[in-house]
Amino acid sequence: MSGIDLNKIKSRLNKLQNTQKGKDRLWKPPFGKTQVRLVPYKFNKENPFIELYFHYNINNKSYLSPMSYSRPDPIVEFAEKLKRMGDKEDWKAARKMEPKLRTFVPVIVRGEEEEGVRFWGFGKTVYQELLGYIADPDYGDITHPLTGRDITVDYTSPEDSGTSYPLTTIRVKPKETPLSDDKEKMRLWIDSQSDINEIYQELSYDELKKVLEGWLNPSDEEETESKAEDTKKTETSTTEEVLSTEKVEGKEEDESKGKKKLDDVASAFDELFDD
């Protein structure tokens, strides 16, 4: 009788612990106003902004797209081939498969400095605003540890914003201030940062292709589990963040119609990839 493989148990435990630590390194603004400071990214000091692309709601999960690193993505390839099939519904289904941009930047949250550096993720609108400030010679490098500027993040609920989703607005402080009066603390914040790749890990091409195939051709057991999962009010951090700042394209479309269309195109999976 074989015993427990302790190495596999330890490996799984370590992976779960690292995943939880990764989630602790993410910051989502609470409703109301919060003051934060963008800081240089340890792993790319020339640019603190990290652009990542995600596939959302694939098997009720989110997957980092290899496109984030200019690598082939089987889901993107399938979506492009689906668009060329010439059907309007195919094109809409393909659009839903395309990865969405999410930008991250390391920040220190004022009043929570003891938490250290965390990653704030946001959509296109906030990203453009931040880049606009940095490109403005009156502001310049707002991430500089000594001459940078704090940012007020105003996160408004749908009820208060008058929209169907929460709204994020920012305002950069006019006054230059140091990240901290304690230079040793500043150095520690920058040197002890996590690598974003430890939080969001990339699947291999074949692994992601298998995910896509399983999504398009679910087994009866998987369909049952998927339906059960849909009834739960779960919190998926990356999906929730996207919904909190942007309208997800096609959200208003009937889900049953979209599912039927995916069933229709599933049969084309092997043919398209075997071209």
Q: Which H, E and C letters describe the chain, residue by residue?
A: CCCCCHHHHHHHHHHHHHHHHHHHCEECCCCEEEEEEECCECCECCCCCEEEEEEEEECCEEEECHHHHCCCCHHHHHHHHHHCCCCHHHHHHHHHHCCEEEEEEEEEECCCHHHCCEEEEECHHHHHHHHHHHHCCCCCCCCCCCCCCCEEEEEECHHHHCCCCCEEEEEECCCCCCCCCCHHHHHHHHHCCCCHHHHCCCCCHHHHHHHHHHHHCCCHHHHHHHHHHHCCCCCCHHHHHHHHHCCCCCCCCCHHHHHHHHHHHHCCHHHHHCC
Q: In tens digits, what is the pLDDT along the chain, a chain of 275 residues?
A: 556 776 666 555 555 554 445 678 999 999 999 999 999 999 999 999 999 999 998 988 999 999 999 999 999 999 999 888 878 888 888 999 999 999 999 999 999 999 999 999 999 999 999 999 999 999 999 999 999 999 999 999 999 989 999 999 999 999 999 999 999 999 999 999 999 999 999 999 999 999 999 998 886 445 545 444 544 443 344 444 444 444 444 444 444 554 555 555 555 555 555 55
The total of other beta-carbon atoms located within 10 Å of residue 180's CB is 17
Are 73 and 65 in contact by the 8 Å Cβ rule? The answer is yes
**What are the boundaries of each domain within the chain?**
19-196+203-216+235-273
**CATH superfamily of the 19-196+203-216+235-273 domain:** Replication Fork Single-Stranded Dna Binding Protein (3.90.198.10)
For position 268, what pLDDT does the model report?
54
Six-digit token pair at 132? 């606009």
Q: In one letter, which amino acid is 148?
A: G
This prediction's pTM: 0.75
